[in-house]
Structure formats: C-alpha cells, structure tokens
C-alpha cells in the first residue's frame, strides 16, 4: 500500500532542478536550514511559525530563525510528528497557537500508545508561555504510523477545522461515525462542539465530525470569501482527490476511491490518476485570490504533489465545479501552503528544509508620448507599460510632471493588461519650452519629454521704428516688422494681428491692435511690417512701447518686439 512518508528520501528524489515558472513569477527561498519542516502559519504581524516534524516550532523573521517557540514531545515514526499549526483569529485578545501533533510517552498526559491530538499554546513574543499547553482534542488514532492527516484551519465563523487520517491500519475507520479517524472535524476554539455540526446531539456518533469517508486529508483550505471547504485527500493506488466539503458528507473511502456515482457517496470535484510508472500524493492547496497574481492565475486553486514534486493549479467556477487544470512549476516535496500578507504563495519543502516564496511581479518598462511635440493649449497622450500583465488588482503607477504640463497624480493599469494611457495637458497660453513626465512603480522610474511650442504660430521680432521722444498729445507714425517663423500662414481672416501690452514695471499707451491688411498672406519664412499712428499721452513721463503677435482663441505668442522707452514732454 502506497503512503506519504514525511521524511528525507533523497535516494528516491535525486537532484531536482526547478522548471521555468510562467513569466513574471519567481520562486525563492525565504528560510533554509530547517530540519524536516512540514507545516507553517503566519502570525498576524507577519512572522512565520514553522513546525519541524521532530518537535521544534521555529519562528522566522526576515528570512532568519530568531527563536524556538517550543519543542513538543512527539512521536516521529513514519508520518507521525508535529503536523499542523494555526493562529487564533482573534489573536490580539487570545494569543494562542493551535498545534496538531502525535503524542509520545513524554507528552502532556500521554495516552498508552501514540495518538494524534490538538493542543493550544499561549504565545508570549517568540516563545510559548511555560506550562500553557491546553489539550482540546485527544486520542485521534495513529495505529500504523501513517495516515495521521494533521491540518488545522480556522473557518470564517471562527470555528476550528481539523483533518484526521484513517490511522493507517483500520481503513474502515473512515466510514465509522463512532471514531474520529478519516474525517474533517469541527470544534470551537475552547474545544467545545458547535451545535450546528451535522451529528451534534447524536448519542452514538462523534459530534465533532463535519465530513467523513476520507483516507488521509493531509491539507485543506477554505475558498476566500466563503465557508466552502476544499479537501485534498491522499489516495491509495489509483486516484488523488480534491473534495468540496458538505456538512455530513461521505466521500467514499474505504469503499470507493476517486470518482463515483454510487448513491450516498460524494464524488470528488477534481481528481487525477496514477500511472504505471508514476505514483502521486496530493498536498491540498489553497486559492490565491488576494489579487496579487495576474489573471488567469489569480483566483486559481494551487495544490502540490509530494511524490511528483510539482505545484499545479485548478480553475473552479463560482459553483465549485471543475473547469480546467494546468501545470505551474516543479517544487521539491511540498507539504504545506499559505498565502502571505504580501500576497505571495508560500510553501514548505520538507526535503529541502526550507520555506519558499512564489511571487508575481510586473515591472514598469515603458513610458511614451504621442505626439511628443504640441502647441500650447493642446494635449498629448502618454502610454505607460509593464513587462508582464498587471496583477488582478491592477498596477498603480505614480505620475508627475515639471512645469508646463499637467498629468494625473497616478494611473492604474487594469488587471491582466500591460499598458494604459493617460492625458498630458498644457496651458492655453504656454510659451515655448519642454516638460518632463515621470512615472514610478516599485523602485523603477521612467521619464519622457514633451516639447511645447507657443500656441498658434511662432513669430520672431525683426525691427521697429518708434520715436524715443514725443510731445504730449501729438501723433506719430510707428512700424513693427515680424517674421513668421512658424508653420502657419498669417492672414487677416485668420485673426492674426499685433497687440500692444505693458511690460512689467511701466505704463502702456498707444495703439490697441495693428491688423494685417485684408487679403494679405504672410507665409512661413516671410516678414510683415505692421504700421500705425499713435498719439502720445497727455501726461508727461516715461512710457513703454512694446507689442506681440495675437491670435483669437490662443492669446499672444512668439517673440515680443524690443521694448522702447519713450520720453513724453
């Protein structure tokens, strides 16, 4: 009979190389040098507690073991040992770590022979409070050393679910409701039994039972946002299963393994077969629905296989019906999974003595403008892009611009997309110049330069004729020659004319506007001389004479004429 053996079996595995992950994913060690790690749990503050099969529970911070939380007296024969961890969901008020382990003669209140139990320990920093162990559930069969299961998970309603194997010797235990073997159990945090359990109140059946008919449901999890239970049940010689837990449901072992249509048994939601040359041992995984993986990976169910050394993913629809399954990556002896607070997929490799992290990253790799040159008052479209599709929650890009252009403070690339556009606007009366657009994401900063030409067409001052002294109230002839240095023809009908204005710090006077003669066209590269008669101010003093090209709807543009200070007496 094939079984999962949680121990070092290097002769069978040999040297493994990790297959290429899909684009954007990396698989790196978080901590190494552990001794047969087989379970993990994240504390609310991000610390990782890792159970070593042989009894020690290690605390990992920043990739280093910083403490031994406690060392449990446990039986380590075959698949026995410390097998599961879970933190109290109300940890701030109830600082407890729940542990599933196999007893030995030195355990707290040891039974006559090795049994599996669930205990609670009080957490004080990185260590357990001395003498704080409280036994919540005991005497779960471990008859042959294998098939101990050992998973602990809190449901959204705060109840504690526990997986148990059939004990390894008496497979009919799974169909027997008078014992706890081959089941998923459900208890309250204090060890009491919820009155909503399917067999609650029975005088013969164990009230802790939630579902039964399982062989060795080593790992299970809840689908995010629901109380739906997904159970990975290790098969015997033919099938590996993922079962959707239904209160009181019977999943067939040891009468059936794999798919069945026999009345009274629930067929697995997903299953895969052994081959003549390849055995298997499923390590039930979890849904990655934290929006940190990109579609189609986000929302998939990821599971491992301890024998085949792989992690794969399955798509289930919202009704928990199987849709498709896919390969994902090779992984050396995965035995437990968790989604970290950073949205990464963490797994325990027992043979490598490590906890590893699979993370998805989309890197900012492009920022472009179209067009790259605009006239003042017009807009450009910027495109920011990633090297891989954005995570399901999207990728937030911080934006900024130097003076001359305006951009949003940020833009989000939608989940699954690789780029998005955003507007770059310029002022209505912008002089010539440039603005630098900046995009930043996770330490990567890119720049793009927008060239801004004056609104309308460019104008360059050539010469002018203006008396520098005048008599108050007298009239004088003035002229100003401007060169069309832009790309647009100036015409009277087009609204092109010369406007007098007041340079800073002095008075203005004289004409209001000089118009281009009707029917005249000033083509690009040509000069045009504006002529007018002005009347000197009645009040003596010093006055500016200066003008600039004007176009209706755009404002002044181009180079102003030279400033002439006129003395009026």
pLDDT tens for each residue of 25-67 = 999 999 999 999 999 999 999 999 999 999 999 999 999 999 9
For residue 419, what are the CA distances in angstroms to 83, 372, 389, 425?
A: 45, 18, 8, 20
- Among 21-25, 148-152, 340-344, 557-561, where is mean pLDDT lowest? 557-561
Alpha-carbon distance 535 to 398, whole Å? 56
Instruction: Check if CATH label 2.120.10.30 holds for domain 10-360.
Output: yes
Contact 173, 179 (CB under 8 A): yes
Residues of the chain within CATH 2.120.10.30 domain(s) are 10-360
> In angstroms, how far is the first alpha carbon of the chain from the final one?
118
Which residues are CB-neighbours of 169 under 8 A, at least 6 positions away?
A: 143, 144
CATH class of segment(s) 459-568 = mainly beta
Residue 371: closest CA among 455, 454, 449 = 449
pLDDT given for residue 503 in this prediction = 65
Residues counted in the chain: 569
Tokens 């099938």 -> residue: 239
Which residues are CB-neighbours of 356 under 8 A, at least 6 positions away?
A: 27, 28, 29, 30, 331, 346, 347, 348, 349
Give 18's pLDDT tier (boundaries 50, 70, 90): very low
Q: What is the mean pLDDT of residues 538-558?
A: 83
Give 329's pLDDT tier (boundaries 50, 70, 90): very high
Query: Any idea which fold 364-453 has?
Result: Immunoglobulin-like (2.60.40)
pLDDT given for residue 8 in this prediction = 32
Residues of the chain within CATH 2.60.40.10 domain(s) are 364-453, 459-568
Residue 17 has pLDDT above 60, yes or no: no
User: Which residues on neighbouring strands pair with residue 400, listed in sequence order?
Assistant: 438
Q: Which two tokens stand for residue 12?
A: 């069978």
Q: What is the mean pLDDT of residues 172-179?
A: 98
pTM for this model (two decimals)? 0.80
Between 95 and 489, residue with greater pLDDT:
95
Alpha-carbon dihedral 248, 253, 256, 261, rounded to 10 degrees: 10
Between 404 and 83, residue with greater pLDDT:
83
Between 377 and 276, residue with greater pLDDT:
276
Residue 14 has pLDDT above 60, yes or no: no
Per-residue pLDDT of 374-403, as tens digits, reads 877 778 999 999 999 999 999 999 999 999
Which residues are CB-neighbours of 165 under 8 A, at least 6 positions away?
A: 146, 147, 148, 149, 150, 181, 182, 214, 215, 216, 217, 218
Residue 336: closest CA among 10, 36, 70, 25 = 36
Mean pLDDT, rounded, of the chain? 92
Three-state DSSP string of 255-272: CCCCCCCCCCCCCCCEEE
């Amino acid at each position: 009979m094939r079984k999962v053996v949680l121990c070092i079996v290097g002769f069978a595995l040999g040297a493994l190389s990790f297959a290429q992950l899909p684009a954007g994913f990396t698989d790196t060690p978080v901590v190494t040098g552990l001794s047969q790690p087989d379970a993990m749990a994240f504390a609310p503050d991000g610390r990782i507690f890792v159970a070593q099969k042989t009894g020690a529970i290690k605390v990992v911070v920043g990739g280093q073991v910083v403490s031994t939380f406690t060392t449990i007296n446990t039986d380590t024969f075959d698949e026995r040992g410390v097998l599961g961890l879970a933190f109290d969901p109300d940890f701030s008020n109830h600082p407890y770590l729940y542990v599933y382990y196999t007893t030995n003669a030195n355990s707290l209140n040891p039974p006559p022979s090795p049994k599996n139990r669930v205990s609670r320990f009080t957490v004080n920093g990185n260590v357990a409070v001395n003498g704080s162990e409280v036994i919540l559930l005991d005497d779960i069969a471990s008859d042959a050393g294998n098939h101990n299961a050992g998973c602990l998970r809190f449901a959204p309603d705060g109840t504690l679910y526990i997986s148990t194997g059939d004990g390894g010797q008496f497979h009919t235990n799974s169909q027997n409701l008078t014992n706890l073997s081959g089941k998923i159990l459900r208890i309250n945090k204090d060890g009491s039994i919820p009155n909503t359990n399917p067999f609650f109140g029975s005088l013969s059946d164990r009230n802790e039972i939630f579902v039964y008919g399982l062989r060795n449901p080593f790992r299970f999890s809840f689908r995010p946002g629901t109380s739906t239970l997904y159970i990975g049940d290790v098969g015997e010689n033919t099938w590996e299963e993922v079962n959707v837990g239904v209160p009181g449901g019977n999943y067939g072992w040891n009468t059936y393994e794999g798919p069945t249509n026999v009345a009274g048994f629930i067929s697995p939601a997903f299953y895969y077969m052994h081959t003549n040359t390849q055995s298997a041992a499923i390590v039930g995984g979890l849904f990655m629905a934290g929006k940190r993986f990109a579609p189609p990976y986000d929302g998939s169910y990821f599971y491992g296989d301890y024998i085949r050394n792989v992690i794969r993913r399955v798509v289930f629809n919202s009704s928990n019906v199987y849709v498709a399954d896919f390969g994902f990556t090779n992984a050396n002896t995965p035995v437990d999974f968790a989604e970290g607070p950073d949205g990464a997929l963490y797994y325990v490799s027992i043979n490598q003595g490590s906890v590893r992290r699979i993370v998805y990253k989309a890197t900012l790799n492009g920022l472009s403008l179209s067009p790259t040159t605009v006239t003042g008052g017009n807009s450009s479209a910027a495109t920011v892009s990633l090297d891989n599709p954005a995570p399901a929650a999207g990728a937030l890009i911080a934006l900024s611009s130097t003076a001359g252009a305006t951009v949003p403070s940020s833009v989000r690339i939608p989940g699954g997309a690789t780029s998005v556009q955003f507007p770059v606007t310029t002022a209505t009366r912008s002089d010539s110049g440039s603005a630098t657009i900046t995009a930043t994401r996770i330490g990567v900063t890119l720049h793009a330069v927008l060239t801004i030409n004056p609104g309308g067409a460019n104008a360059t001052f050539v010469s002018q004729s203006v008396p520098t002294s005048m008599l108050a109230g007298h009239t004088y002839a003035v002229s100003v020659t401007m060169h069309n240095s832009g790309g647009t023809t100036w015409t009277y009908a087009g609204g092109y004319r010369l406007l007098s204005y007041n340079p800073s710090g002095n008075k203005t006077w004289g004409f209001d506007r000089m118009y281009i003669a009707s029917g005249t066209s000033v083509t690009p590269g040509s000069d045009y001389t504006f002529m007018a008669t002005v009347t000197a101010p009645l009040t003596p003093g010093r006055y500016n004479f200066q003008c600039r090209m004007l176009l209706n709807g755009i404002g002044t543009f181009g180079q102003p004429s030279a400033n002439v200070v006129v003395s009026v007496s």
